[in-house]
Amino acid sequence: MKIGIAKERRPYEARVAASPDTVKKYVAMGFEVAIETGAGLSAAFTDAALEAAGAKIVKTAKDALGSADVVLKVRKPIGSGAEVANEADEIALMKNGATLISLMEPYKDRALIDALAAKKITTFALEMVPRITRAQSMDVLSSQANLAGYKSVLDACNEFGRAFPMMMTAAGTVPPARVLVMGAGVAGLQAIATAKRLGAVVSATDVRPASKEQVESLGGTFVAVEDEEFKEAETAGGYAKEMSDAYKKKQAELIAETLKKQDVVICTALIPGRPAPVLITEDMVKTMKPGSVIVDLAVEQGGNCPLSEYGKVVRKHGVAIVGHANVPSRIAVDASALYAKNVLNFLTPLYDAEAKSLKINLEDEIVKGSLITQDGKVVHPAVQAVAAGKTAAKPAAKPRAARKPAASKTASKPAAKTAKAPAKPKAATATSAAAPAAGSDKEGDA
């Protein structure tokens, strides 16, 4: 069987779906691996390194994808209709009946899902892999959100005009920065750990009761309205529930007071399959200290702050608001290495070495949860519920109220583990709700 990997061509994407390490393992399993030239360069994987691992380097995306039985990608393939300016329709390059493994944003662009089904492509959406113990090594949301949480703190440092740690000097004392992390999932917990290592005084908020212990285990102070509703704010799967308007009002009042004292706020709050909740209103931003920084990791799903702008750093009311697109891709070397390993761990159980073919067990929980198209049909119930022909709203579109809910790269679920945390987070991507949700779901990387 042949694996095909083309260069990622979507804006802001620097990752690649295979590394020299995983290529070596695919070849040992019996696969042929064809990789488009330059596909790994932005992640520091040279053609020479990939070729030395056993890959065949080919000239074009067509050469990589045209005869591939299995296509591995980071982002969903580009469809028809000039979806990405000046880029070819990648679905048209794939052969009928191929298998595609990628992040798919399955709720966001039904037309693209239908196009894959029309070519009888078997499609697995990695963001929909269920959060079970057996699937932890396949959890791309966790691996990518962990890096995003780390990078978000560095991005905040870059915009913040002061030092993070307290410094005692002959010229005077520099007080430590005060950092609030909103959402204590994987990205949030890593942000807490990173800010603490840099010497900041850290607090965090989340609607899930289990997150309190996780935050405190990392040295953070937990901020939340801990009433009866709060105790029931987590689903059986470990995700956050949408909170009532009454709870949101109480939480918003608490957060409004807390924000006045903060220097940096990291927003990571997402709700699976829903627009990102608005946690920081414009009125709240007006009360923050001049020179403060907000990093909005949810900007691709509408944002936790209505003033954030996709792919930009803006300054409003004396506050820098960071809305970088695709934050994991900003740390592409590690993000690619981890993603490639997640993909290898997903593909390996599907491959029958004796038959030299894929064996898809539809009774397997991981297959059932992540398979979205097969035999010319959309087969996942949640994706079937998305209106046929629906296409994605552009993440940068404003005003917020005009956007339609779609769903995440991380669309179906948040991420699940931090790289290093004394307590293992149960929730996937950080989630919190302090004000009525607004915005638009993204790919969410995280």
Write out pLDDT tens, residues 256-314.
Answer: 999 999 999 999 988 767 789 899 999 999 999 999 999 999 999 999 999 999 999 99
Residue 15 structure tokens: 């990752």
Q: What is the pLDDT of residue 249?
A: 86
- Interval 427-446: pLDDT, tens: 333 333 333 333 333 333 33
- Would residue 239 show up in a list of annotated catalytic residues for this protein? yes
- Interval 206-236: pLDDT, tens: 888 889 999 999 999 999 888 777 777 666 5
Among 63, 109, 139, 445, the active-site one is 139
Instruction: Assess whether pLDDT exceeds 50 at residue 393.
Output: no
Among 42, 136, 137, 217, the active-site one is 136
- Would residue 370 show up in a list of annotated catalytic residues for this protein? no
Among 26, 75, 107, 142, the active-site one is 142
- Would residue 144 show up in a list of annotated catalytic residues for this protein? no
Instruction: Assess whether pLDDT exceeds 80 at residue 406.
Output: no
Among 239, 247, 310, 339, the active-site one is 239
Beta-carbon contacts of 304 under 8 Å, excluding residues fewer than 6 positions away, are 182, 183, 267, 268, 269, 276, 277, 278, 279, 280, 296, 298
- Interval 116-128: pLDDT, tens: 999 999 999 999 9
Beta-carbon contacts of 363 under 8 Å, excluding residues fewer than 6 positions away, are none
Q: What is the pLDDT of residue 252?
A: 84
How many whole angstroms separate alpha carbon 439 and alpha carbon 345? 34
- Interval 136-174: pLDDT, tens: 999 999 999 999 999 999 999 999 999 999 999 999 999
Mean pLDDT of the chain: 87
Beta-carbon contacts of 86 under 8 Å, excluding residues fewer than 6 positions away, are none
- Would residue 131 show up in a list of annotated catalytic residues for this protein? yes
- Would residue 440 show up in a list of annotated catalytic residues for this protein? no
pTM: 0.84
